[in-house]
Structure 1
Amino acid sequence: MPRPPVYREIISDVRTAIETGQLKPGDRLPTIAQFCEQYRVSPTPVKFAMRVLEEAGLIETWQGKGMYVRQRTGGGEIT
């Protein structure tokens, strides 16, 4: 069975960490560079995964400050 796209793996891993409480609201996520190193990919799939997570309301990004887990208000479905 072929490996799913890396961006889906990143989304799944971050989502699971949030759902299990490993990452809590207000926690800072690793940097793009750290995700790239961890998953051994270029920044493109990492940025795409972060955009999907942000659009789902799971994280928020602040230019120059980083990416953080958002306070859960419902929703957060990722298709």
Structure 2
Amino acid sequence: MPRQPVYEQVIDDVIRSIQSGALQPGDKLPSIAELGEQYRASATPIRLALRILDERGWIEVHQGKGSFVAPEPPA
């Protein structure tokens, strides 16, 4: 089975953490640099993952402040 692209791994992990309650609405996600280290990836797939999570309503990205779990993430 081919390995999942890094950006999909990040998306799945963040959604799972929100659904399990490990991440609560308003919680700050690790920085792009920290996520890059965690997933051994460059900033590009991390940014893509955060953009997709933002578009899907799971997180809110605030320029210069970071990424936060949305107040009302999808069920």
Computed over aligned residues only, the root mean square deviation of the Cα atoms, in angstroms, reads 1.2
Distance 1:7 1:74, change over 3 A: closer
Identity of aligned residues (%): 51
Distance 1:35 1:73 in 2: 20
Instruction: Name the structure 1 match of 2:5.
Output: 5
- What pairs up with 1:24-43 in 2 under 5 angstroms? 24-43=24-43
Normalising to structure 1: TM-score of the pair? 0.90
Distance 2:73 2:11 in 1: 19
Runs of 4+ displaced beyond 2 Å: none
Normalising to structure 2: TM-score of the pair? 0.95
- What pairs up with 1:1-79 in 2 under 5 angstroms? 1-72=1-72, 74=74
The alignment partner of 1:8 has SS state of: helix
Structure 2 residue runs without a partner (length 5+): none
CA offset at residue 71 of structure 1? 1.2
Structure 1 residue runs without a partner (length 5+): none
Distance 1:73 1:21, change over 3 A: closer
Aligned length: 75
